């Protein structure tokens, strides 16, 4: 009798263990995103920092269904490009912020977001916000996650999961121009004096170091976004007082120059890092296309911020409880003076996940994941 009961107990334990294993394996099969970058993809890290760069007040997040419209720290009205891309790829959850206390244990296997509003490729970028996570620190934090993944899965399985099932997305660089190089105040004097050529060389050199560090930590499937047409954001259009159908040329020129060198860097890394695939997400051309043909994509304006205040394009004061908000958020390309709306993010993510080589090359994210 006693032995019958213990056999039953052993069986029950075995069944429970099998089902835990199955759940775990099911999750792992769906893959995960490890997200690095700035406010374009921050899913809430800055909520945990003493910083002036925050999106933790209404009406930010008003269309984010999972929070019931409460702010999450995302700098948009709904989901970011990273959230939507993960969803389109069938991942089980949006990558949670690394700094959230409950982003721990097996949650790490569903992806992690290290991105931070105000962050840049250079350590000094975003200093005016007091605090933010730059790219170097984001990679340091991934190194911590990496160790925990070994503990969770064992070394061999962790490596297999990272190299086969994990996508590493990097969306960074805008702040290096907007909140560093182009700043009128001489808070970063050495940068302002530097030539664009040298500044861009510094950006590419550090980006190469950080991408290579991720590679040494077993990242293989990369998608790196180029810098968008930052001369077309409502903030730049407002302070430079350009017409509705115009953009500010210097920021766009700098972005294009950087993007050319980024393309070369990714080609070089594809040649030199065995087993790695670096995809370029051509956010510049994508956003430019949305802005140029906004009516074709169902938008009413590509120059006015939906949420913000100041000047002709509501482009001076960031979105918050006291700023005005447009009536129909889905017909604005821009949510606030700096960031695209969820409606725009949805289009961008679709092209990056399933689009052709005009917007994502050499292959799109869906193909990258099946490699």
Ligand X SMILES: *[C@@H]1O[C@H](CO)[C@@H](O)[C@H](O)[C@H]1NC(C)=O
State which residue, 137 or 182, has the beta carbon closest to ligand X: 137
The interface mask with ligand X, positions 206-235, x = CB under 6 A, is -------x--xx------------------
- As given in the structure block, the two tokens for residue 353 are 């996940």
Binding-site member from 52, 88, 100, 152 for ligand X (CB under 6 A): 100
Cα 277 vs. chain centroid, distance in angstroms?
Answer: 18
State which residue, 65 or 296, has the beta carbon closest to ligand X: 65
Residue 335, SS3 per DSSP = coil
Q: How far is 339 from 327, CA to CA, in rounded Å?
A: 17
State which residue, 99 or 365, has the beta carbon closest to ligand X: 99
Asked if 136 touches ligand X (CB under 6 A), the answer is: yes
State which residue, 50 or 102, has the beta carbon closest to ligand X: 102
Binding-site member from 143, 249, 293, 324 for ligand X (CB under 6 A): 143
How many residues sit in the footprint of ligand X (CB under 6 A)? 11
Residue 74, SS3 per DSSP = coil
**Of 174, 218, 336, 341, catalytic:** 336
Q: How far is 122 from 198, CA to CA, in rounded Å?
A: 13
Asked if 104 touches ligand X (CB under 6 A), the answer is: no
Q: Is 336 a catalytic residue?
A: yes
Smallest separation (angstroms) from ligand X to the CB of 56: 12
Residue 33 per-residue DSSP state: E
Q: How far is 13 from 214, CA to CA, in rounded Å?
A: 39
Pairing between β-strand 221-225 and β-strand 307-308 as defined by DSSP bridges: unpaired
Q: Is 39 a catalytic residue?
A: yes
Q: How many CB atoms lie within 10 A of CB 100?
A: 17
Binding-site member from 137, 182, 273, 346 for ligand X (CB under 6 A): 137
- As given in the structure block, the two tokens for residue 240 are 């430079």
Asked if 198 touches ligand X (CB under 6 A), the answer is: no
How many Å is the maximal CA-CA distance in the chain?
Answer: 87
State which residue, 138 or 301, has the beta carbon closest to ligand X: 138
Asked if 239 touches ligand X (CB under 6 A), the answer is: no
Q: How far is CA 307 from CA 21, 72, 234, 236, 284, in A?
A: 46, 16, 11, 15, 23
Tokens 């992806």, residue located: 111
Q: How far is 282 from 260, CA to CA, in rounded Å?
A: 11
- As given in the structure block, the two tokens for residue 311 are 């000047």
Q: How far is 302 from 309, CA to CA, in rounded Å?
A: 16
Smallest separation (angstroms) from ligand X to the CB of 72: 8
Smallest separation (angstroms) from ligand X to the CB of 123: 4
**Of 33, 39, 53, 174, catalytic:** 39
Smallest separation (angstroms) from ligand X to the CB of 2: 41
State which residue, 116 or 303, has the beta carbon closest to ligand X: 116
Interacting residues with ligand X between 106 and 125 (CB under 6 A): 107, 123
Name the nearest CA neighbour of 333 among 362, 307, 294, 371: 294
Smallest separation (angstroms) from ligand X to the CB of 162: 13
Binding segment (CB under 6 A) for ligand X, from list 136-144, 164-172, 276-284, 362-370: 136-144
Binding site for ligand X (CB under 6 A): 96, 100, 102, 107, 123, 136-137, 143, 213, 216-217
The residues assigned a catalytic role are 39, 336, 339
């Amino acid at each position: 009798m006693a032995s019958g009961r213990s056999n039953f107990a052993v069986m029950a334990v075995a069944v429970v263990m099998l089902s835990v294993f199955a759940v775990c394996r099911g999750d792992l099969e769906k893959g995960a995103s490890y997200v690095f970058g700035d406010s374009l993809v921050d899913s809430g890290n800055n909520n945990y920092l003493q910083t002036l760069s925050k999106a933790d007040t209404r009406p930010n997040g008003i269309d984010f269904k999972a929070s019931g419209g409460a702010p999450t720290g995302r700098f948009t009205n709904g989901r970011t490009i990273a959230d939507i891309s993960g969803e389109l790829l069938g991942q089980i959850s949006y990558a949670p912020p690394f700094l959230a206390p409950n982003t721990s244990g097996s949650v790490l296997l569903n992806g992690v977001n290290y991105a931070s509003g105000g962050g840049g490729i250079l350590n000094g970028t975003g200093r005016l916000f007091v605090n933010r996570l730059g790219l170097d620190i984001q990679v340091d934090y991934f190194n911590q996650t990496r160790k925990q993944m070994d503990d969770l899965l064992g070394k061999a399985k962790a490596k297999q999961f990272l190299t086969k099932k994990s996508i590493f997305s990097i969306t960074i660089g805008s702040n290096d121009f907007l909140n560093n190089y182009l700043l009128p105040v001489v808070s970063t004097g050495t940068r302002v004096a530097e030539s664009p050529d040298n500044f861009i060389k510094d950006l590419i050199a550090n980006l190469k170091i950080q991408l290579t560090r991720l590679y040494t930590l077993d990242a293989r499937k990369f998608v790196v976004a180029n810098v968008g047409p930052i001369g077309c954001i409502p903030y730049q259009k407002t302070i430079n007082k350009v017409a509705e159908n115009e953009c500010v040329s210097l920021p766009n020129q700098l972005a294009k120059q950087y993007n050319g060198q980024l393309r070369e860097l990714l080609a070089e890394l594809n040649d030199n890092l065995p087993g790695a695939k670096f995809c370029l997400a051509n956010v510049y051309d994508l956003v430019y296309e949305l802005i140029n043909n906004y009516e074709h994509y169902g938008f009413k304006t590509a120059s006015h911020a939906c949420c913000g205040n100041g000047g002709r394009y509501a482009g001076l004061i960031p979105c918050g409880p006291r700023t005005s908000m447009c009536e129909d958020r889905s017909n604005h390309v821009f949510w606030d003076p700096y960031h695209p709306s969820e409606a725009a993010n949805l289009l961008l993510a679709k092209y990056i996940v399933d689009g052709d080589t005009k917007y994502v090359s050499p292959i799109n994210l869906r193909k990258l994941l099946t490699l």
